[in-house]
Amino acid sequence: ASRSVGWALCLLTLIMYVFAVLFRIVTNNTEIGDLYFGSIPHGMATLLLPGLLPDHGNTVFKIGSASIGYAVVFVIFVIIATIVIMNLLIGMMCQSVNVVASVEKEEVIVSYVRTELGALMMSLDNDGNGVLSKHELERILLNSAACKIISEVGVD
């Protein structure tokens, strides 16, 4: 999980860098450019704080005015507390949905096989006792409908 979160943060940084360069070029010699995109790092900070973390932007700028180190530590905390934890929660939810889907798929397959093969076995049960003899089982294995049902569920 930490590897995927790390790559997600790298991708986010790359995206912020590209858009900071784009905004720096597009807003050059404008009031908005001077205010928000005066340099690439300042543009990235604008995209990150008011753009992605708007609730924490003012706090980070106030802390940063006292010391840039404090602001960096605070941003790291916000990223860990919000982005990473939320990604982990989403991953856990996806995993549990995947497990439930696998179990339900298996139940559907078992029900399908039970219904289809059960009907086929009853039709091939000559003496009607509900138990297949060796001869009746051989007839099932040679029956094309039974082979189709068995191959549909992945049995060779």
3-state SS, 60-85, equals HHHHHHHCHHHHHHHHHHHHHHHHHH
Stretch among 30-39, 41-50, 109-118, 124-133 having the lowest mean pLDDT: 124-133
pLDDT of 156 > 70? The answer is: no
On whether the CB atoms of residues 18 and 42 are closer than 8 A, the answer is: no
Q: pLDDT tens for residues 100-134? A: 999 999 898 888 888 877 777 777 777 777 777 78
In this prediction, residues 30-58 reach a mean pLDDT of 87
Sign of CA dihedral 14, 19, 20, 21: positive
On whether the CB atoms of residues 24 and 37 are closer than 8 A, the answer is: yes
Q: What is the percent of the chain with per-residue pLDDT over 90, rounded to a whole number? A: 20
- State residue 36's pLDDT score: 87
Question: What global pTM score does this model have?
Answer: 0.48
- State residue 20's pLDDT score: 93
**CA pair distance 34, 36, nearest whole angstrom:** 6
Mean pLDDT for all residues in the chain: 83
The residues, any chain, with a CB within 8 Å of residue 59's CB and separated by 6 or more, are 74
- State residue 50's pLDDT score: 84
pLDDT of 1 > 60? The answer is: no
- State residue 43's pLDDT score: 92
